[in-house]
Structure 1
Amino acid sequence: MYVAVKGGERAIEAAHGWLAEERRGDPGVAGLSLGQVREQLSLAVNRVMAEGSLYDPDLAALAIKQARGDLIEAIFLMRAYRTTLPRFGASEPVETGAMRCDRRISAVFKDAPGGQVLGPTFDYTHRLLDFALAAEGEAPEAARVEAAAEAMPHIMGYLSREGLMEREAEGTAAPPDMTRAPMELPADRALRLQALARGDEGFLLGLAYSTQRGYARNHAFVAELRIGAVAVEMEIPELGFAIELGEVVLTECETVNQFTGSKTEPAQFTRGYGLVFGQTERKAIAMALVDRALRWRELGEEDQGAPAQDEEFVLMHCDNIQATGFLEHIKLPHYVDFQSELELVRKLRAGAAGEPRGADE
């Protein structure tokens, strides 16, 4: 710690107090309630839940408020809290085909079976500042379309029935859990998807964009993007059947990519997949693109040497908490390390100054 800093522990306590004062801001302005953060900054809440690996909107709102809006710090708080929670079981796999969709679109089928639902999205806004929001008055009530009551089948299923989609391997073993065991490379797809699901949105966005620009030659179409609530069930051994514990909101994206085929497989489409907590569609799309880029080896494709194809590079650098910890540790005291570097440079300079001219000639 900064024991040599003037004031020592008293200085650190003062820094904590100053931080709390800065977080509160002008006391003449009403403080934010957790309900306001949860309801009005819902996309930030969704990101903190997704990358914090903990679905709890109230805790995510608290973390955002405590972190002064720094989402990576809020994600760190969520991860830290998550480690204190007991684990009493595992839920059944969620059935996204039964999702009650608030939003469901396809870029490949105009008349998608079950219809398209635009839902709440920025896609069709003009990206102009709305100064009416600065008036802080009551917003006019907007027309709202209720979530689809009937289940919408996955669009990929229609391509699969024609034999145009790759067959997904169905594993029987339980997938590894990266929250309980260190990640090992090479990683199977289940482990890669776990890492991507809680990876940093900005990092994955940059990688996904690179694949679209030619670094991996991975042109994709969004076969389906859906956002909505799904039931979470857990089997109770004493009962002998599963019961519903509640619902979570998820964003799911499936991309469809060309595949020229191989000696054993005919030409067909392959897929990339993304599944994330909350309404986080940019993250889900980016995740699907990076997932597909990482599959080059198992599909027998050529390694283009692209960053998004490098499993070690992607998986070991996508976690913003690990990146933050390693980045920010260099601002902590390194007095001894630097003194050794300083002495080395002084010796090198003294040695160079004492050499006669022309010694290198």
Structure 2
Amino acid sequence: MYVAVKGGERAIENAHAWLAEERRGDPAVPELSVPQIREQMSLAVNRVMAEGSLYDPDLAALAIKQSRGDLIEAIFLIRAYRTTLPRLAASNPVNTASMLVSRRVSATFKDAPGGQILGPTFDYTHRLLDFTLAAEGEVPAAPTAPADTQDVPHILGFLDRDGLIEQAVPNDDTPADLTREPLELPADRALRLQSLARGDEGFVLGLAYSTQRGYARNHAFVGELRIGQVAVEVDIPELGFPVEIGEIELTECETVNQFNGSKTEPPQFTRGYGLTFGQTERKAISMALVDRALRWRELGEDFTGAPAQDEEFVLSHCDNIQATGFLEHIKLPHYVDFQAELELIRSVRAAAFANLEAAE
């Protein structure tokens, strides 16, 4: 017994050493630094921050390096580290209308108030491999954004003026905190949005795609997609007014959805919403589509049985850390369980053969 335990410890230590060697790769190749990952793999860093529920580009880059580029493992590392941090204060809700915008587009208005700002995007590239990157040459400097990209109005506010879109009713209740309390169903919209914001991008994307293919009656337009810096403020009781403690980059998406009305709501456009850390627009759009699909009950719509409408299915399976833990635990030792299964199948087979012989 003790020999087996000691042998297992040595094997695990050796596995860790081998893992470190594999992570480093060929020693003749210069090692990646955390600043290099932070600056040149920013979209991966943004995803790790969003799904790890911790805004810190340096820590996210470190986690990507430690995990050999496995983003789910990096998210796991960030969430684990997050649990060790003290909570000093709760910030005020951010004001995205005052966002310093670097990208802002709308699929609903060509001449959007405030203008369309394409920003840094893959949308218009030809998806051809750029072999000049292999030469590691200098990249020409991009033009800077216009100076008037602060306080750009939300486009859906203009529809709101005409009464064509459902009213966004403020909710002053303090929402539950999914990072400190377990998920409980049924969940209100604030809790659903938290779960989707830290949900796996691929899973949420698949659900969003399913709604576009008809599984939820969810024909949507991107009313607005904006990316930029917003101020984070904290109320200081001793001062009596909020103090800005920093800025974070956010991606916000508001979708406009067709709605024919119901027993409780008139015909109008309805909203879907997504908000995530960093430039993570695929995730924000997907989040908005799934958010709208999950609102069928409050809008008085029929439940069609679509996966994206099933709150329990969506929220219980979108977390990639929970999914990974349950999936990967089956590769760990289950010797006793399997021996019990083995004895059971042997006894069942013996009884079945005995019955066949008796029948003959």
Say yes or no: TM over 0.5.
Answer: yes
After superposition, where does 1:18-57 map in structure 2 within 5 Å?
A: 18-57=18-57
Match of 2:90 in 1: 90
Aligned-partner Cα distance in 1 for 2:305–2:35:
47
Superposed CA deviations along residues 104-163 of structure 1, whole A, max 9, x for unmatched, are 000000000000000000000000000001112222333443564431100010011101
Superposed CA deviations along residues 24-73 of structure 1, whole A, max 9, x for unmatched, are 00000000011100000000000000000000000000000000000000
Match of 2:273 in 1: 273
Q: CA deviation at 1:357?
A: 5.2
Superposed CA deviations along residues 230-263 of structure 1, whole A, max 9, x for unmatched, are 0000000111110000000000000000111134
| Secondary structure in structure 2 of the residue aligned to 1:171 | coil
Aligned-partner Cα distance in 1 for 2:5–2:65:
29
| Secondary structure in structure 1 of the residue aligned to 2:258 | strand
Structure 2: runs of 5+ lacking an equivalent: none
Match of 1:11 in 2: 11
Aligned-partner Cα distance in 2 for 1:352–1:79:
51
Q: CA deviation at 1:334?
A: 0.5
Match of 1:162 in 2: 162
Q: CA deviation at 1:328?
A: 0.6
The RMSD of aligned alpha carbons is 1.6
Match of 1:153 in 2: 153
- Read off the aligned partner of 1:343 and give its amino acid letter: E
Match of 2:321 in 1: 321
- Read off the aligned partner of 1:206 and give its amino acid letter: G
- Read off the aligned partner of 1:198 and give its amino acid letter: R
Aligned-partner Cα distance in 2 for 1:85–1:239:
25
Q: CA deviation at 1:4?
A: 4.1
CA contact (8 A) 2:264 2:300 kept: no
| Secondary structure in structure 1 of the residue aligned to 2:209 | helix
Count of aligned pairs: 359
CA contact (8 A) 1:154 1:224 kept: yes
Q: Does 1:201 align with 2:187?
A: no
Aligned-partner Cα distance in 2 for 1:348–1:253:
57
CA contact (8 A) 2:257 2:269 kept: yes
Aligned-partner Cα distance in 1 for 2:5–2:344:
26
CA contact (8 A) 2:102 2:149 kept: no
| Secondary structure in structure 2 of the residue aligned to 1:344 | helix
Match of 1:64 in 2: 64
| Secondary structure in structure 2 of the residue aligned to 1:117 | coil
Aligned-partner Cα distance in 2 for 1:148–1:353:
83
After superposition, where does 1:248-287 map in structure 2 within 5 Å?
A: 248-287=248-287
CA contact (8 A) 2:262 2:301 kept: no
- Read off the aligned partner of 1:346 and give its amino acid letter: R
| Secondary structure in structure 2 of the residue aligned to 1:152 | coil
Superposed CA deviations along residues 278-297 of structure 1, whole A, max 9, x for unmatched, are 00000000000000000001
TM-score between both structures, scaled by the size of structure 2: 0.97
Match of 2:116 in 1: 116
| Secondary structure in structure 1 of the residue aligned to 2:336 | helix
Aligned-partner Cα distance in 1 for 2:269–2:358:
67
Sort the Cα spacing of 1:302 and 1:31 in 2 relative to 1 into closer, same or farther, 3 A.
Answer: same
Match of 1:139 in 2: 139
After superposition, where does 1:211-290 map in structure 2 within 5 Å?
A: 211-290=211-290
Sort the Cα spacing of 1:144 and 1:240 in 2 relative to 1 into closer, same or farther, 3 A.
Answer: closer
Match of 1:344 in 2: 344
Match of 1:330 in 2: 330
Aligned-partner Cα distance in 2 for 1:344–1:147:
73
Percent pairwise identity: 77
Q: CA deviation at 1:87?
A: 0.4
CA contact (8 A) 1:102 1:148 kept: no
Sort the Cα spacing of 1:147 and 1:359 in 2 relative to 1 into closer, same or farther, 3 A.
Answer: farther
